Every structure is written in structure tokens, then in C-alpha cells.
Amino acid sequence: MQNVVLKGHKNGYVIAIRADSKFEDVLAEVTTLFADLQKDKKRDSAQPISFNITTGTRLLSAEEKKKIEDVVSNYPLFSIHKFTSDVMLVQDAIEMVESKVVHLNANTVRNGQIEYIKGDVLFIGNLHRGGILRATGNVFLLGNCEGIIHAGYLSDAQAIIAGNVSKAQQVRIADVVDIISDDEEKMARDSEVVVYVNDLHALDYTERDQVKVIRPKLFAHMGGY
């Protein structure tokens, strides 16, 4: 039984590697495969070809991927587009789940402290001045927030901050910052608002029921208000 199989699709070529094969056998067959492809290529047009390599329920290590890439690098017209598999590392799976979960956080964040959350957070704690509440996703506020609120860290400009931000020092989404105390109109707002990055890549403020307009995907995901 072959350890490596070349398949042609309308979107390109896929090299399937058997999940239970010894890597030494896989590497030998990959070497033979590309040598044969090079011979055929000389008889055809000299157009470059990229390959997706899929491993099913097997995960290749970085070293194993490098060895396959080294074989392919001997042939200038061939390249590897990507490696894919049907499984993932445990840590990657944990991070994916964390990024999709709304985390409940009731901590007290004092001056100089940073509270970091992967994914969305419902904050019911106490954020002191000089403290930073930082989440990679959306931030929903029910607690007392007098420090810095940062959603969409590092680069998710689609994230929002929802809740009472009237006492906050700053609100940040991705790389966009607004200092609340510099704007009397925003400081006067003591009800819940939604902070978001508008089309001009600046922070803007709106009411909760406008989430369905500014972030329809988020509104649908949350099931509406």
C-alpha cells in the first residue's frame, strides 16, 4: 500500500500521506514522487505548481515538515502551499475554545495590574484607575470600571466594548484609543453604551440596540438582545 498518494483537483494538487506510515517511508516516497514529477514536467510546460499536503489524523512535527520542504526545494517549479490535518494540538484546541467562550471575570484589577483574557469577557469585577482589563475579543461590562478597557487585543478591530464606560480612563479596541476624560459629552453618559471602531478607523459610541447594525454577525451570534 502506498504511503504517499498524489491527487488532482480542480483547485490544484493534493499529496495525501497515510496517517500510520513510518516517516522514513513517507520521506522516501515523497523524494521519488517529486523526482518523477520533475521528469514529467520537462516534457510539459514550465508552469510552477504548488501542492497541499494532507496528513489525515496524523500531525507532522516541525522537523518532519522541514524535511519534506527540503526535498521539494530541490525542484524550483514545485512548492508546498500548506500542510493540513484533521486533528490539532491540544494547546491549539484549548486556545480555539477559549477564543469562542464568554469568560465570566469577577476579579479586582488594581493600579499597575493587567487582567488578560483570551476571547470575550463578561466583567463583573472592579477595575481601579491605572489597571488594565485586556481581552482578545469583546468586553461586556457590569462591574465598576475606572481604569483602561482594551478589547480586540492585539488586532481585532471588529470587537466591541459594551457597558458603562463613563468612569474609565481610556477605552481601546485593537490599536485605536480614546481618552474618556478628555470628552465631557462622553463623560456625561452614565448609561450603557457600545464602543466600536467605525469606518474611519476611529472609536465611536452608540446605543446597545445598534449592535445589529454595526456588528450584525456578532448580533446574530449572540441571539439578539
Indicate if the pLDDT at residue 124 is higher than 90: yes
**Confidence category of residue 123, pLDDT binned at 50, 70, 90:** very high
Give the pLDDT score at 188: 47
pLDDT reading at 99 higher than 70: no
Do 135 and 153 meet the contact criterion of CB atoms below 8 Å apart? yes
pLDDT in tens, 158-186: 999 999 999 999 999 999 999 986 554 55
Could you tell me which CATH number the domain at 93-222 has?
2.160.20.70
- Answer whether residue 194 shows pLDDT above 60: yes
Q: What beta strand segments (E) does the chain contain? A: 4-9, 12-17, 49-54, 78-84, 102-105, 108-109, 114-117, 120-123, 126-127, 132-135, 139-141, 144-145, 148-151, 161-163, 170-173, 176-179, 193-197, 203-206
pLDDT of residue 59: 87
This prediction's pTM: 0.59
- pLDDT above 70 as % of the chain: 84
DSSP 203: E
Per cent of the chain over pLDDT 90 is 64
Determine the residue type at 198: N
Say if residue 93's pLDDT is above 80. Answer: no
Model pLDDT, residue 212: 86
Within 8 A by CB and 6+ apart from 26, the residues are 3, 4, 17, 18
